[in-house]
Amino acid sequence: MPYALLRRTLERFTDSALRSRRHAIAIAGVAWVLIAIADWLTSYELSLNPFYVIVFCLVTWHSGWRAGLVFALLSSLNQIAIGTVLGHPYSRPAYFIVTNFNTLLSACLLIALVARLKLVHERERTHARVDYLTGALNNMGFYEALGVELSRHRREGGPFAVAYIDCDEFKSVNDRFGHRAGDLLLGVIVDTLKRALRKTDVVARLGGDEFAMLLPKTGLAAAQTVIDQLLDALNMATASQDFRVTFSVGVVVFEAPPASEDAVLSSADRLMYRAKMEGKNRVVYETAGSPHADAAPQPHTAGAA
C-alpha cells in the first residue's frame, strides 16, 4: 500500500515542466533554496524535513538517484550548519551527529526506493506498449505513436502514410506446421519490416497476423516505393524459411489532418479488407479526401500456399 501510494504521489507531480531533467533540477534547486532559508529562520523550532524529502524524491524520480543524493547531502549539510551556527537542542554533541547521520541514511534508503520504483514503472510502461512475441509495438504503443504523428502533422503539415498488412495464409502455416512455426513467421515478418524501414517509421503488431506501419512525412509516390521494397523483402524472408504466404495491404496517405487515430486505422483496415476481397496478395492505396483508390496486384510473391 505505501509503495503504490508513493508512486501515485510522484506521478501526480509530473507535468510538462518536470519532464526535462534540467527543468526538474532547476525547479528543485529553487524550492530547496526557499526551504533552506526557511530552515535557517526557524532553526530547530520547526522541522522542515518533509519538504526536503519531497524535493529529493522528485529529483530522483525525474533526474536519477545521483541528483537526488546530491540534494539529500545538501539538505543534511544545511541542517548540520544550522545546528553548528545557531545551536541545537541536544544535550550531547554525539546525539546531534547521530541524529543527522540517521536522517541522511533514511534519505539514502528513500532515494534507493524511489529509483527502484522509477525503474519498475518504466519497465511496466514499456511492456504495456510492446508485443511480447515479436518485440513490435502493440495496439497501445501504436496508438501513442500515431497520436504523436497527428500532433506533428497538424503543427507542421506534410503527408504521412499508414499501412495495414495481413498475412493471407497464416492460418495454413499454423495448421500445417504448428503454432511454434506460426510464431516464428510472425517474428520473421516484424524483423523484416524493422530492417527495411527508417528509424523514424513505426511497426506494430495489432493482433494475430495483422500489422500496421506508420510512415511519417511520406507521400503517395514514396509510400508505393516503400511498400514495393517491403513486400520484396517479406517475400524473400518468408521464402527462405519455406513459408508459402502472401500479403494483403491497405495504405492510406493523409494529406490533410484526419479526425482521430481511430479514423486513421479504420481507413487502412478498410483498404486491407478490400485487397483481400479482390483476391488477396495485392496492395490498395488511397489518398485521404480522394474518392478514388488505386488498386494493383502485388507482383512479388513467395509462392502459393
Residue 124 lies in a domain: yes
Looking at residue 305, its pLDDT comes to: 38
Q: Which residues contact 150 (CB under 8 A, 6 or more apart)?
A: 257, 258, 260, 261, 264
pLDDT at 1: 45
Q: How many structural domains does the chain have?
A: 2
Query: What is the domain extent for residue 198?
Result: 139-297
Listed residues 76, 107, 129: the one ending a domain = 129
The per-residue pLDDT for range 109-147, each reduced to its tens digit, is: 999 999 998 888 777 776 778 888 888 898 888 988 888
224 and 265 belong to one structural domain: yes
The radius of gyration of the chain's CA atoms, rounded to the nearest angstrom, is: 28
Per-residue exposure over 202-240, b if at least 16 CB sit within 10 Å of its own CB, e if not: bbbbbeebbbbbbbbbbbbeebbebbeebbebbbebbee
> Which grid cell is 292?
478514388
* Helix (H) or strand (E) run with residue 219 in it: none
The per-residue pLDDT for 11 is 52
Question: Looking at residue 271, what is its pLDDT?
Answer: 94
Q: Enumerate the β-bridge partners of residue 286.
A: 252, 293
| Residue 173 included in any domain | yes
Residue 29, classified by CB atoms within 10 Å of its CB into exposed (0-12), middle (13-18) or buried (19+), is: middle
Residue 134 located in a structural domain: no
Q: Are residues 178 and 287 in the same domain?
A: yes
Q: pLDDT at residue 231 above 70?
A: yes
Instruction: Say yes or no: 158 and 272 in one domain.
Output: yes
With respect to residue 158, please indicate whether it lies within any of the assigned structural domains.
yes
Pair (48, 23) in one structural domain: yes
Q: Can you tell me the mean pLDDT for 74-80?
A: 90
In a domain, 305, yes or no: no
Angle, CA 115 vertex, CA 110 and CA 121 arms, to 5°: 125
Residue 111: the pLDDT is 92
- Greatest Cα pair distance, the chain, in angstroms, is 90
Average pLDDT, integer, range 277-296: 73
**Rounded to an integer, what distance in angstroms lies between the CA atom of residue 174 and that of residue 167?**
12
User: In terms of pLDDT, which residue wins out, 15 or 216?
Assistant: 216
What percent of the chain is helix, strand and coil (3-state, nearest 5)? 65, 15, 20
Task: Provide the sign of the torsion angle of the four alpha carbons 287, 198, 217, 190, taken in this order.
Answer: positive
| Residue 137 CB partners (closer than 8 Å, separation 6+) | 129, 130, 131, 145, 202, 203, 204, 205
Same-domain status, 109 and 221: no
Question: Does residue 275 surpass a pLDDT of 60?
Answer: yes
Same domain as 291, residue 143: yes
Grid coordinates representing 229 are: 521494397
The pLDDT of residue 70 is 92
Residues 248 and 176 in one domain: yes
User: Is this structure's pTM higher than 0.95?
Assistant: no
- Pairing label, strands 293-297, 247-254: unpaired
Q: How confident is the model at residue 15 (pLDDT cuts 50, 70, 90)?
A: very low
144 with 277, same domain: the answer is: yes
Cβ(280)–Cβ(168) under 8 Å?
Answer: yes
Indicate the length of the chain as a whole number: 305
Q: Is residue 254 part of a domain?
A: yes
DSSP state of 13: T
74: in domain: yes
In angstroms, the CA 162 to CA 173 distance is 27
φ, ψ dihedrals at 296, nearest 5°? -145, 135
In a domain, 53, yes or no: yes
User: Over pLDDT 70: what percentage of the chain?
Assistant: 87
Q: Let me know whether 154 and 23 are in one domain.
A: no
End-to-end CA distance of the chain: 55
CATH number of the domain encompassing residue 248: 3.30.70.270
Residue 2 has pLDDT above 90, yes or no: no
Same domain for 144 and 293, yes or no, is yes
- Please check whether residues 116 and 66 belong to one and the same domain: yes
Decide which of 81, 96, 129 is a domain's last residue.
129
Distance (Å) of CA 135 to CA 240, 285, 289: 21, 27, 34
Using the Cα atoms of residue 293, residue 297, residue 298 and residue 299 in order, give the sign of their dihedral: negative
Same domain, 148 and 231: yes
* pLDDT level of residue 33 (50, 70, 90 thresholds): very high
Domain final position from 129, 148, 171: 129
